[in-house]
Chains A and B, each alone.
Chain A
Amino acid sequence: MGIEINFDSRTSAQRVQEVLCARYGIDPALLYVGDLGEYSGPRLIAYVTPAPEGERYFACVLEGGPEFDEAIGGLTELQLATLLCKELDTRALIDDGGGAATSWILVTADGWHGRVIVDDDRLDDEFVILEALQPVPSAPEIPVVEPPDWQKGWYKDGKIPTSGFDPDDWRKPSEAAG
């Protein structure tokens, strides 16, 4: 299915690569750090794009293909994001799997995750968090709003993502349990 994690722009792309290669024994040559447009070499399994200079928000991006899924033992995006955010003391946004393009999962350095709403007008350029759908323990300054009555409709299976400190309690429960 592939992995895509949008780390806070202050995150070191190099450190993301180092942690992943050390933890999962990935050949650093197959996990490129830099602008993919300038890459020439063997077929990659994943890459990390550092945030461009001066970029705020969540512009350091890790993306992996099917071989990367295998290399990390089939971890879900949330499990991997939680692990990396704790290890690198950073935060990240990942897709919440629903049809509403403005609803994302925020993962924080303390290992917590929960849904936030980002600015739709700026979404094609940058992730700007407008509000959270539940309080964010490490960021009480983010305004909290009640999710709309029809939020269930955002998700194919009608299951609303949970929030909290356990990354195994949401999405692909059978895999998480294994």
Chain B
Amino acid sequence: MSNPGEIAAVIRAVLEALPVDALRAANTAAGESAERIAAATEGTGHDAPREALAHIAEGIERTGEALAGLGEIRERLNAYLAVLVPGVEAMVARPIAGPAGKRPITPPNRRHHLNSVGRKSQVREENTVILPGTDVRGDLDAIRRGEAAWLPDRDRCLVNGRLYGVEVPGTVYPDEGPGLVKLNRSEYKALKGLIEARGDMDSLPSALANNPAVTGADWQRAAEVYEHHKDYRSEDT
């Protein structure tokens, strides 16, 4: 595979699939098991529970090391992803590069989250929608920890395969990457209409049905995105 776009797509998919959450959950579960065993066998005088607890402690420690290793993989892949984009130099080595090193950064406005898009959500020429399940909070934490790559030639932040920009007050906004969908003005309006009508094309708000700027292709694109909405039912649209 030599096409940088295809390689980047694979890297993004790999970043998304790395079992970071699973390992964190595993350590939480193991810790809880250890607490329960310790509480139940306290003062019994048997060696076996103590040995079991020592093994669990080792398991937790090894899993923690694996998590650190995943962090290294993530950093390397982000760095490579950054250089795949022409003219862009990754700066992962700097502790907190970009705006996050200069001012507190805050999460994207809720209008970007698919399940929070509402009738009044402001529409732009380009609107990036965050699909449910996308770990934007984790991305922000990574940016704050200095784990994101700052792309100086594009003035945007790259983390877990997702690009983010930063507004004047330090509000982060999503741009592109796994779990992010870009819609143009009329597609986003169509999406707002579908959400308001709970996916029922027959009960669209009349203002939107009459809107000369929204065409058939816009409804189609909006319907694809609406399939990820919490109110979507398969018989909709």
Residue in chain A with minimal CB distance to B153:
A158
From A39, A63, A120, A156, give the contact of B167 (CB < 8 A): A120
> A124 interface residue, CB < 8 Å from B?
yes
- Tell me which of A14-22, A94-102, A134-142 binds B: A94-102
In the bound assembly, the distance between CA atoms of A95 and B186 in angstroms comes to: 14
> B185 interface residue, CB < 8 Å from A?
yes
In the bound assembly, the distance between CA atoms of A78 and B197 in angstroms comes to: 33
Given contacts A101-B167, A124-B111, contact A37 B155 (CB under 8 A): no
- Tell me which of A44-52, A83-91, A106-114 binds B: A44-52
> B2 interface residue, CB < 8 Å from A?
no
With A44-B210, A120-B109, A123-B109 already in contact, 18 other A-B pairs whose C-beta atoms are closer than 8 Å = A36-B206, A36-B210, A44-B212, A45-B212, A63-B212, A65-B186, A95-B124, A99-B126, A100-B165, A100-B167, A100-B173, A101-B122, A120-B169, A123-B122, A124-B121, A147-B168, A153-B165, A158-B155
Whether the pair B156, A153 counts as a contact (CB closer than 8 A) is: yes
Residue in chain B with minimal CB distance to A152:
B155
Interface residues of B in 120-165 (CB under 8 A from A): 120-126, 128, 153-156, 165
How far does the Cβ of A37 sit from chain B's closest Cβ, in whole Å?
Answer: 4
Whether the pair B212, A47 counts as a contact (CB closer than 8 A) is: yes
Given contacts A2-B185, A97-B125, contact A64 B212 (CB under 8 A): yes
How far does the Cβ of B157 sit from chain A's closest Cβ, in whole Å?
Answer: 8
Whether the pair A102, B167 counts as a contact (CB closer than 8 A) is: yes
Whether the pair B124, A101 counts as a contact (CB closer than 8 A) is: yes
Given contacts A124-B118, A152-B155, contact A99 B171 (CB under 8 A): no
Complex interface: chain A residues within 8 A of B185 (CB): 1-2, 4, 95
Complex interface: chain A residues within 8 A of B165 (CB): 99-100, 150, 153-154
How far does the Cβ of A79 sit from chain B's closest Cβ, in whole Å?
Answer: 16
Which applies to chain A's interface (DSSP): helix, strand, loop or mixed? loop
From B102, B121, B123, B175, give the contact of A99 (CB < 8 A): B175
In the bound assembly, the distance between CA atoms of A74 and B173 in angstroms comes to: 31
> B98 interface residue, CB < 8 Å from A?
yes
Residue among B118, B126, B168 with the highest chain A CB neighbour number at 10 A: B168
Whether the pair A99, B206 counts as a contact (CB closer than 8 A) is: no
> B41 interface residue, CB < 8 Å from A?
no
How far does the Cβ of B180 sit from chain A's closest Cβ, in whole Å?
Answer: 11
A100-134 vs B, Cβ < 8 Å mask (1 yes, 0 no): 11110000000000000100100111000000000
Complex interface: chain B residues within 8 A of A67 (CB): 212
How many chain B residues touch the partner (CB < 8 A)?
39
Interface residues of B in 87-128 (CB under 8 A from A): 98-99, 102, 109, 111, 118, 120-126, 128
Residue in chain A with minimal CB distance to B108:
A101
From A4, A44, A63, A150, give the contact of B166 (CB < 8 A): A150
How far does the Cβ of A146 sit from chain B's closest Cβ, in whole Å?
Answer: 10
Complex interface: chain A residues within 8 A of B156 (CB): 150, 153
> B220 interface residue, CB < 8 Å from A?
no
Residue in chain A with minimal CB distance to B168:
A117
B185-224 vs A, Cβ < 8 Å mask (1 yes, 0 no): 1100000000000000000011110111111000000000
In the bound assembly, the distance between CA atoms of A170 and B98 in angstroms comes to: 27
In the bound assembly, the distance between CA atoms of A5 and B122 in angstroms comes to: 13
How far does the Cβ of A119 sit from chain B's closest Cβ, in whole Å?
Answer: 10
For the complex of A and B, 10 pairs with smallest distance between CB atoms: A153-B155, A65-B212, A37-B207, A36-B207, A150-B155, A65-B213, A2-B213, A153-B156, A124-B120, A152-B155
> A148 interface residue, CB < 8 Å from B?
yes
Complex interface: chain A residues within 8 A of B121 (CB): 124
